[in-house]
Structures are given as structure tokens and as C-alpha cells.
């Protein structure tokens, strides 16, 4: 594994760990799907890096002084700092070009960005569904919009005819999409998807390709390096919505 070191989630009263010349640092939060994007790319490229985790509920002063928006991920290397998950991933692709995670064809690369941008609507809907729990009518509308987005994504994968969006192995588009798919079973079990809670039933025909893609992603070595189990996601969600997120909870198998 390319992680050189990783801190607990630093809160007010902590100090920013000293930077080491030439060592890439990613500021993260262990359960943040946006940060997971960058961590997946780092894992895929086997880039040695250190992880500094930040308590996003109670942020240390040094963190907001470094990056006023206070979000993760943020990359830092030798005095250069870059935020935002997609920008971080694109920067990593340029800094560490092997293995290549984006298409060589500029038109296909642009199309991948279009798909990622469309998927951002589905991401927004997942958060809205958490907020809409207890409002069946609103949940129904949000679920219908989310399902339509998933069907469109399924159609794109079917059109490509490949195991992953990138081809025979996962690439940038796969890694940008995956973190929310990883959390979907936990969201469902917590009743935040508009679907019945409980065990996952067989997927409907409209998203068979995405379901198979999820199975392949789950089994891929890069994903397994960073993945968190459904049970641990559930525990974190429960702690988060109770108002006391347990960022440093012990992860079970």
C-alpha cells in the first residue's frame, strides 16, 4: 500500500503535522466520498503519500487557515495546495501519468467528463433523499429522478460494451462514480433511498449492467485498498446523524 502514514481526525487544539519535502500529502476524512475519489486514484497509481485526516464537524484553526472552505480532499506538495476532488484527480493524472486513467482520445476524454457531470446530479439526489426521509411524496419524486439517472448510466456502460467505463480496468470515470455506489447499500438499509429497507433484492433489468459493474468494482484490488464495508458505513451514518460523527471508529471486517 502506498500510504506512508495516516493521522486520526485532527480537531481544534491540534497542530498541522510538519510537511516533509517531496512527500505528497492528501487532507482527507475517512468516510468522505469526495476524498475517496482522490484516494482511489492514488491507490491505482501506487503513489507514495501521507494522509492527514480532518474532523469536519469541529475543524482545527490551522485547517481553515490553510483552506478557508474547509472541505476535503486537498492535495499539498512542497508548498503547492490544490482543493476539490475532480481537480485533485486530474492533477494526479498529470503528475503521475502511469497507469493512464483517462482516454488518450480528446473527444472520449471530454465525453467522460460529460458523464461525470451528469452523475453529479445523482450525487445531489442522494443527499436530498437523506433529508427527505419522512416525506413519502418527496422521496418518491427524488427516487424516480435518481433511478432515471442510473438507467442513463447503465445505458452508457452498455453502449461502451466494456467491463468498466474505462475499458478492461477501472479508470478515472469509474473512480469518480464509485464512492456513492459503495455507500448505496448502507443508504438503502437506513431507508434513505425511497426503496424498502432490508436485504438487497435482484436489480431490475434497467440497471443490470451497472449492477455487474458494481460487482467488478467491489472485487478490484484498487477499490479493495480503500473500501469501507456497508456495516461500517451504516455505523458512521448513524453516528453522523446523531450529531456526533465517529470519524475514528474502529473498522470491523
Question: Which residues on neighbouring strands pair with residue 201, listed in sequence order?
Answer: none
- List 32, 89, 122, 214, catalytic entry: 32
Place of cell 498529470: 94
Q: How far apart are the first and last CA of the chain?
A: 18
Taking the C-alpha atoms of residue 124 and residue 3, their distance in angstroms, rounded to an integer, is 30
Is 88 annotated as catalytic? Answer: no
Among candidates 72, 156, 83, 168, which has minimal Cα distance to 116? 156
Is residue 154 a contact partner of residue 209, using CB atoms and an 8 Å limit?
A: yes
Q: Looking at the annotation, which residues are catalytic?
A: 32
Amino acid at each position: 500500500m502506498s500510504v506512508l502514514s495516516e493521522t486520526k481526525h485532527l480537531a481544534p487544539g491540534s497542530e498541522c503535522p510538519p510537511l516533509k519535502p517531496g512527500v505528497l500529502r492528501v487532507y482527507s476524512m475517512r468516510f468522505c466520498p469526495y476524498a475517496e475519489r482522490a484516494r482511489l486514484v492514488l491507490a491505482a497509481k501506487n503513489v507514495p503519500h501521507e494522509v492527514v485526516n480532518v474532523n469536519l464537524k469541529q475543524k482545527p484553526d490551522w485547517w481553515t487557515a490553510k483552506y478557508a472552505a474547509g472541505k476535503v480532499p486537498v492535495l499539498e506538495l512542497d508548498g503547492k495546495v490544490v482543493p476539490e476532488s475532480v481537480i485533485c484527480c486530474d492533477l494526479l493524472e498529470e503528475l503521475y501519468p502511469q497507469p493512464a486513467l483517462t482516454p488518450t482520445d480528446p473527444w472520449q476524454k471530454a465525453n467522460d467528463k460529460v458523464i461525470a457531470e451528469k452523475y453529479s446530479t445523482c450525487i445531489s439526489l442522494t443527499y436530498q433523499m437523506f433529508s427527505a426521509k419522512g416525506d413519502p411524496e418527496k422521496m418518491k419524486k427524488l427516487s424516480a429522478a435518481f433511478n432515471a439517472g442510473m438507467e442513463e448510466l447503465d445505458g452508457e456502460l452498455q453502449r461502451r460494451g466494456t467491463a468498466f467505463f474505462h475499458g478492461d480496468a477501472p479508470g478515472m470515470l469509474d473512480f469518480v462514480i464509485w464512492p456513492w455506489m459503495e455507500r448505496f447499500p448502507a443508504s438503502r438499509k437506513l431507508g434513505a433511498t425511497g426503496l424498502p429497507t432490508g436485504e438487497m433484492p435482484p436489480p431490475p433489468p434497467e440497471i443490470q449492467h451497472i449492477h455487474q459493474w458494481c460487482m467488478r468494482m467491489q472485487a478490484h484490488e484498487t477499490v479493495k485498498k480503500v473500501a469501507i464495508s456497508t456495516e461500517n458505513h451504516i455505523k458512521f451514518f448513524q453516528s453522523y446523524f446523531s450529531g456526533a460523527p465517529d470519524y475514528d471508529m474502529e473498522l470491523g471486517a
